């Protein structure tokens, strides 16, 4: 089955203590779409400006990503620039230029309104709502977010949480949203906001799924060297949703496995700037790491 | 088989945002010994002053812990007092009174020099050396440490690492010792210091074993509420060594399982002040959580 993914499509200028790369393909939807494309057909909803390099469109097409819902507008593509500290766990935003993103209204092609799996990747909650409003009874809806929306669009986000099956957020966002330091204690509070499934991402420490069947502790794939973690969370969500869309039957039965696939795609993402590494792997590379990760956690 | 454990035996005065308890039974050897006692006979090497409450000796005895190597000296028992911040991940030491610990020289009873399993729990590396000097060809030696010894006794510690099979340390100590932010990259550097097996503890995020067979990612048991994490690392090491001592055959074959047992005992430790919770559980409680933890990580 197909996955519809809405989020940001951006140009990212990223500095780490080792190197810097300007105007990489970035944005939550770009990372998530490429990650999901290894498993299922992907429909990308977003907007780019007239400065968006043609090679990035070709890259999406090479991954079989349907670009009918990707608007091309006069003006500049959303541009984010940021810098990581030595340990890669902290970054600061140097500049955010919204460009064509400022007036973006996602509009779904008629043929895509029946897409069964929907990933509302990180983007303003009002736009996530707007996409859901256009969908016809999707089978499974997941939403990601970021601290910015907790600060400036909390009401919209809380409304959204009543409409999604799975809410994906990181540990510090969970703490901010629930005022609860302990992530395990935060989980029931997050469920009370609406979602049947909650996943808290903990970066290199893996992620935790909370569902009616209980908890699942998913490991992160251990990396000796993190080149650039930008987009790792989006890759996780994309890989997870792509795997779910590819699996037959009930979603519940595949969520754990899907998290392992998400973790593995995220690990590749971290091994290169932007999407440089993720776009060079094959499905077989993913399967190899999934097997390895299962061995690394088997008692 | 038996485990010999050397380390501190202390009185701990602990404050958390919720509560405070003075003069609890504490110290690395106390926590490790009680943890190990669920699995194997334990021999405790340490020192206490004449203010050491008789009920704490009785508590050790109820756990079947051999106290022949526990010296009782005139003077005051080692006393540590500390305070935790709201999220329980940071603590500050309010006072450290060495008391009889200042002049402590561990002396092994003759009958204990053949003990096959040795846990050199957190204590000055010179004392850890001194215990090893008295042992006759132990089967398996593990050493724990703390940041203090990296700062003031690094040379002794580095000498010790050439004499132990397993080195257990936490992530920040690993970073301090190797100057490497990434724990996965730190592991080969730690092996180069001597130990065949290295375990890096990451608190609520579990622990990582590095061995000739590769990595193992051990989960922490998820807790909704941490009452007092003091001694959790010591309980982990004690539970792990106790389980290894109880398992037949080669140590390699049991290390993963032993880490799960260590994690579970550590989780009970965190649920009460000092040893309050750990001393109230039964082996069956441990087995229940071990089974649960295995389910929580099964894909």
| CB-based contact B19:B133 (threshold 8 Å) | no
User: Looking at the complex, does the CB of residue B88 fall below 8 Å from at least one CB of chain A?
Assistant: yes
ipTM: 0.92
Nearest residue, CB atoms, B297 vs list A205, A295, A297 = A297
Nearest residue, CB atoms, A182 vs list B185, B206, B224 = B224
Contact B222 A208 (CB under 8 A): yes
Contact B225 A185 (CB under 8 A): yes
| CB-based contact B173:B150 (threshold 8 Å) | yes
- In total, the C-beta contacts within 8 angstroms joining chain A to chain B are 69
**Torsion over CA: B259, B260, B265, B270 (sign):** positive
Digitized pLDDT (tens) for each residue of chain B, 299 residues in all: 999 999 999 999 999 998 999 999 999 999 999 999 999 999 999 999 999 999 999 999 999 999 999 999 999 999 999 999 887 878 899 999 999 999 999 999 999 999 999 999 999 999 999 999 999 999 999 999 999 999 999 999 999 999 999 999 999 999 999 999 999 999 999 999 999 999 999 999 999 999 999 999 999 999 999 999 999 999 999 999 999 999 988 999 999 999 999 999 999 999 999 999 999 999 999 999 999 999 999 98
Contact A297 B217 (CB under 8 A): yes
- Give the pLDDT confidence score for residue B18 in this predicted structure: 87
> What six digits make up the tokens of B150?
């990296």
Nearest residue, CB atoms, A296 vs list B86, B215, B257 = B215
Nearest residue, CB atoms, B202 vs list A205, A225, A294 = A205
Please, which residues 28-87 of chain B have a Cβ atom closer than 8 Å to chain A? 86-87
- Give the pLDDT confidence score for residue B297 in this predicted structure: 94
Q: Decide: helix, strand or coil at residue B250.
A: coil
Helix (H) or strand (E) holding A62: helix A54-62
**Buried b / exposed e along A213-252 (16+ C-beta atoms within 10 A):** eeebbbbbbbbeebbbbbbbbbbbbbbbbbbbbbbeeebe
Residues B233, B31: Cα–Cα separation, whole Å: 9
> What six digits make up the tokens of B159?
């000498």
User: Looking at the complex, does the CB of residue B189 fall below 8 Å from at least one CB of chain A?
Assistant: no
Other CB atoms within 10 Å distance of the CB of residue A189: 14
- Give the pLDDT confidence score for residue A18 in this predicted structure: 87
Average pLDDT of chain B?
96
- The residue among A35, A201, A47, A62 whose CA lies nearest residue A119 is A35
| CB-based contact B206:A296 (threshold 8 Å) | no
Nearest residue, CB atoms, A223 vs list B184, B216, B219 = B184
Nearest residue, CB atoms, A222 vs list B184, B223, B294 = B184
> What six digits make up the tokens of B68?
């022949």
- Give the pLDDT confidence score for residue A90 in this predicted structure: 84
> What six digits make up the tokens of A104?
């973006």
Bridging pattern class, strands A10-15 and A79-84: parallel
A216 neighbourhood in chain B, CB within 8 Å: 296-297
Instruction: Tell me which residue range forms the domain holding B161.
Output: 3-297
For chain A, report the end-to-end CA distance as a whole number of angstroms: 34
Residues A179, A218: Cα–Cα separation, whole Å: 24
DSSP state of A66: B
| CB-based contact A183:A174 (threshold 8 Å) | yes
- The residue among B296, B153, B92 whose CA lies nearest residue A299 is B296
Helix (H) or strand (E) holding B120: strand B117-120
B198, exposed or middle or buried, with CB in 10 Å at 0-12, 13-18, 19+? buried
- B17, B171, B221, B224: best mutation site toward chain A, by most A Cβ within 10 Å? B224
Contact A206 B208 (CB under 8 A): no
- The residue among A9, A20, A96 whose CA lies nearest residue A51 is A9
Nearest-5° Cα angle at B138, B135 to B141? 100
Which CATH number is B170's domain given? 3.40.1190.20
> What six digits make up the tokens of B133?
């000097």
> What six digits make up the tokens of A195?
């979602």
Which residue in B has a C-alpha nearest to residue A201's C-alpha? Answer: B205
Strand partners, A199: A168, A209
- B17, B175, B182: best mutation site toward chain A, by most A Cβ within 10 Å? B182
Tell me the per-residue pLDDT of A10-66, one tens digit each, with 9 for 90 and over: 999 999 998 999 999 999 999 999 999 999 999 999 999 999 999 999 999 999 999
B88 neighbourhood in chain A, CB within 8 Å: 181
Contact A225 B257 (CB under 8 A): no
Helix (H) or strand (E) holding B23: strand B20-26
Nearest-5° Cα angle at B255, B249 to B260? 130
In chain B, how many domains are there?
Answer: 1
How near does any CA of chain A get to the CA of B212, in Å?
Answer: 13
Tell me the per-residue pLDDT of A67-77, one tens digit each, with 9 for 90 and over: 999 999 999 99
Residues B88, B96: Cα–Cα separation, whole Å: 20
How near does any CA of chain A get to the CA of B263, in Å?
Answer: 13
Nearest residue, CB atoms, A219 vs list B181, B217, B224 = B217
Contact partners, residue B192, CB within 8 Å, separation at least 6: none
Q: Decide: helix, strand or coil at residue B201.
A: strand
User: Looking at the complex, does the CB of residue B223 fall below 8 Å from at least one CB of chain A?
Assistant: yes
Residues A82, A101: Cα–Cα separation, whole Å: 18
Which residue in A has a C-alpha nearest to residue B202's C-alpha? Answer: A205
- Give the pLDDT confidence score for residue A89 in this predicted structure: 77
3-state helix, strand, coil in chain A (%, to 5): 40, 25, 35
Residues of chain A whose pLDDT is less than 50?
Answer: none
Contact A224 B182 (CB under 8 A): yes
Contact partners, residue B291, CB within 8 Å, separation at least 6: none
């Amino acid at each position: 089955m197909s996955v519809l993914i809405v989020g940001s499509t951006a140009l990212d200028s990223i500095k780490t203590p080792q190197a810097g790369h300007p105007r990489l393909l970035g944005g939550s939807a770009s990372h998530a779409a490429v990650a999901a494309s290894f498993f299922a057909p992907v429909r990308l909803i977003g907007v780019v400006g007239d400065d968006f390099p043609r090679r990035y469109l070709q890259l999406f097409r090479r991954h079989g990503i349907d670009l009918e819902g990707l608007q091309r507008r006069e003006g500049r593509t959303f541009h984010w620039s940021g810098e990581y500290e030595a340990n890669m766990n902290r970054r600061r935003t140097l500049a955010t230029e919204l460009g064509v993103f400022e007036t973006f209204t996602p509009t779904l092609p008629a043929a895509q309104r029946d897409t069964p799996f929907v990933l509302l990747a990180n983007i303003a909650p009002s736009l996530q709502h707007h996409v859901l409003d256009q969908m016809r009874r999707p089978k499974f809806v997941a939403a990601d977010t970021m601290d910015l929306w907790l600060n400036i669009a909390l009401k919209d986000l809380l409304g959204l949480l009543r409409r999604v099956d799975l809410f994906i957020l990181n540990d510090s966002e969970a703490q901010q949203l629930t005022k609860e330091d302990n992530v395990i204690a935060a989980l029931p509070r997050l469920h009370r906001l609406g979602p049947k499934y909650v996943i808290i991402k903990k970066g290199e420490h893996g992620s935790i799924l909370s569902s009616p069947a209980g908890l699942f502790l998913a490991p992160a794939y251990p990396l000796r060297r993190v080149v650039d973690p930008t987009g790792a969370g989006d890759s996780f969500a994309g890989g997870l949703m792509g795997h779910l869309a590819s699996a037959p039957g009930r979603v519940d039965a595949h969520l754990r496995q899907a998290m392992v696939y998400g973790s593995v795609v995220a690990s590749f993402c971290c091994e290169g700037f932007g999407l440089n590494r993720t776009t060079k792997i094959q499905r077989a590379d993913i399967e190899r790491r999934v097997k390895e990760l299962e061995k690394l956690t088997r008692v």
